[in-house]
Amino acid sequence: MTNDPWYYPLINQLIQIYNDIIIIYDPDNLGSLGEIVSTLSKDYILHYYENELGLRSAISSFKGKKILVFISDERLCVPYDVESRAEKITNNWSLKIIFPKLHIEVIKEYPTRLQEIYTEYKSIEGSLKTANLDETRSLVRLWIKDDIDCKEISDLVSSIKQFLNCEDPRWDAIAPLWGRLSYLKDNCSDKVFEYEVLDKEIIQKFEYFIFNRYSDLFYATSHNRPNTVNKIMEYLGYLQSEKLLLLCFDGMSFQEWNILKKKLEKHGINKFREGTIFALLPTLTKISRRSIFSGERDYQNPIDEDKGFVKYIRKHWNCEESKQIGFFYNAGQEWNPEYLNYEYIGIIINLFDDTAHSTKNVDKSKLLMQKNLINILQETQIEELFHKFLKAGYRIFITSDHGTVWCLGNGYKVEKYLVEERAKRALLYPNKTLADDFADKKRVKLFRNTNLLGEKILIFPQGREMFAAEKEVAISHGGIHLEEVIVPFIEVLP
């Protein structure tokens, strides 16, 4: 039985190529899978070809590394001058090269289980005859050893159904359960048949909540817990901690929290006080993330995170003037000794948001994003960050500014000069006239609330749609899906 990675037959082809540009025709989108990305990115720059402008920009910026240009759509044409100077891999980068005796359409159904399939396949390859679709499916089901607790999936489905059957569903309870179910569903080789039905019911009932009850959240007290992200700083001030870390993982929904949590638990960080919090609408970084650190809900001129963090602490927290306040944008997952120079620290880590936006070939799920995140975190020592902060006596709080969802383009074009904020999942118009004009005869939802927005109007697409080319699929945020709006608020306990 082999211990070799399944992708070695692919990347071994690159060893003998000395050209600085290598064009790879990749019909099975293998170049976007986490194992290959993490392995190749150490020695190569990876570019997923979509258009000439992006390619030329990538070529002009690479220094010291070769560039791999992945082309998954055979209809795309590379500029002649680039193609003529590049080495090409045309027929030897596909699943058929890895599994020549199996039916490839079956293998494509298991992009996160390729190593298990490969190991078992190689052990019998010599005696195996070419298998058809049904024979391949039988073999794969025999080989895959799920470590998913199917009873937990069943229990989660049952619990979510019970909450949804209530006249006034407890969304703060449903969100963590849905995140856990989504995580397990994307870890499981078998389809969770009730998932799509539940998703549609959640979309319908949560949209009703957003349009009828969301604004009430802002009037709740934050002494015991904050309901909305703009109340986090107020809540933390009540704690009167000598040392405190507020860590925002940009774009982390509860599904991604399950990935991070498993990584931390593996390394002894296993005590958490888990809660939920509502992001601001629209669920965009510019709006919601700034509100986390400033404690303000200002759609017109939101204050930058670092300035807002310092300003709020100095003005509202009862702390000594000698306390040092530090803030770190786009921090890595590794420990930074400079952190210990400050008693109050705000940190933003973009791991989840960056991975969401860079995940290609989304197939109406976050499966590939989840797989990529698992592989990325395996290469980090993010647990050291938490160990050292806890050892130094900090209270640690983790949160997020918004979650993400997979979404499908609705084909609606937006005139940029008429809209104040424009994202795939949300549009912010300055007044009702412009909003109504855009919304006329379109499948969209208009959100009006003068207490929150003044005269501005938010427009959201329906369900999992986005303002993009028709049938385009991507992972994005900005809208009102449960996964975008309700995010983790976690205290890490010593």
Q: What is the DSSP code string of 299-354?
A: SSSPPPHHHHHHHHHHHHS---TT--EEEESS--SS--GGGGG-SEEEEEE-HHHH
Residue 386 in any domain: the answer is yes
- Calculate mean pLDDT across residues 357-371: 88
Same-domain status, 297 and 378: yes
Same-domain status, 72 and 127: yes
305: CATH: 3.40.720.10
Same-domain status, 23 and 78: yes
CB 156 within 8 A of CB 202: no
What percent of the chain stands above pLDDT 90?
A: 60
Residue with tokens 């937990």: 152
Which residues on neighbouring strands pair with residue 399, listed in sequence order? Answer: 248, 489
> Does the pLDDT at position 147 exceed 70?
no
Same-domain status, 15 and 111: yes
pLDDT interval class at 417 (50, 70, 90):
low
pLDDT at 364: 85
Same-domain status, 442 and 335: no
pLDDT interval class at 47 (50, 70, 90):
confident
CB 60 within 8 A of CB 36: no
Same-domain status, 238 and 360: yes
Same-domain status, 424 and 451: yes
pLDDT interval class at 110 (50, 70, 90):
confident
Residue 251 in any domain: the answer is yes
pLDDT at 190: 63
Who has greater pLDDT, 147 or 342?
Answer: 342
> Does the pLDDT at position 382 exceed 90?
yes
Q: What angle do CA 111, 112, 114 make, to 5 degrees?
A: 70
Q: What is the DSSP string of 231-298?
A: GHHHHHHHH--SSEEEEEETT--HHHHHHHHHHHHHTT---EEEEEEEPPSS--IIIIIHHHHH----
pLDDT at 135: 92
Same-domain status, 442 and 428: yes
Q: By three-state DSSP, how is residue 5 classified?
A: coil
Who has greater pLDDT, 229 or 417?
Answer: 229
Q: What CA–CA distance (Å, rounded) separates 352 from 376?
A: 10
Instruction: Return the closest-CA partner of residue 398 out of 298, 263, 217.
Output: 263
Q: Of 110, 143, 176, which residue is a domain's last?
A: 143
> Does the pLDDT at position 150 exceed 70?
no
pLDDT interval class at 6 (50, 70, 90):
very high
Q: Of 143, 171, 199, which residue is a domain's last?
A: 143
pLDDT at 1: 59
Residue 166 in any domain: the answer is no
Residue 400 in any domain: the answer is yes
Q: Do the bridges between strand 421-423 and strand 426-429 make them parallel or antiparallel, or are there none, so unpaired?
A: antiparallel
- Calculate mean pLDDT across residues 294-307: 86
Same-domain status, 343 and 419: no
Q: What share of the chain is helix, strand, coil (3-state, %, to 5)?
A: 45, 15, 40
Residue with tokens 């349009």: 211
Who has greater pLDDT, 52 or 467?
Answer: 467
Worst-scoring range by mean pLDDT, 56-70, 128-142, 462-476? Answer: 56-70
Same-domain status, 295 and 363: yes
Residue 74 in any domain: the answer is yes
Q: Of 128, 143, 158, which residue is a domain's last?
A: 143
pLDDT at 3: 74
Average model confidence (pLDDT) across the chain: 89
Residue 151 in any domain: the answer is no
pLDDT at 137: 86
pLDDT at 43: 85
Same-domain status, 245 and 393: yes
Residue 79 in any domain: the answer is yes
Measure Cα distances from 205 to 201, 221, 481 in Å: 6, 25, 10
Structural domain count, the chain: 3
Q: Strands across the sheet with 66-71, in order?
A: 44-48, 66-71, 21-25, 87-89
> Does the pLDDT at position 146 exceed 70?
no
> Does the pLDDT at position 253 exceed 70?
yes
> Does the pLDDT at position 171 exceed 60?
yes
Domain that holds residue 80: 8-143
Residue 176 in any domain: the answer is no
Worst-scoring range by mean pLDDT, 187-201, 222-236, 310-324, 446-460? Answer: 187-201
Same-domain status, 389 and 450: no
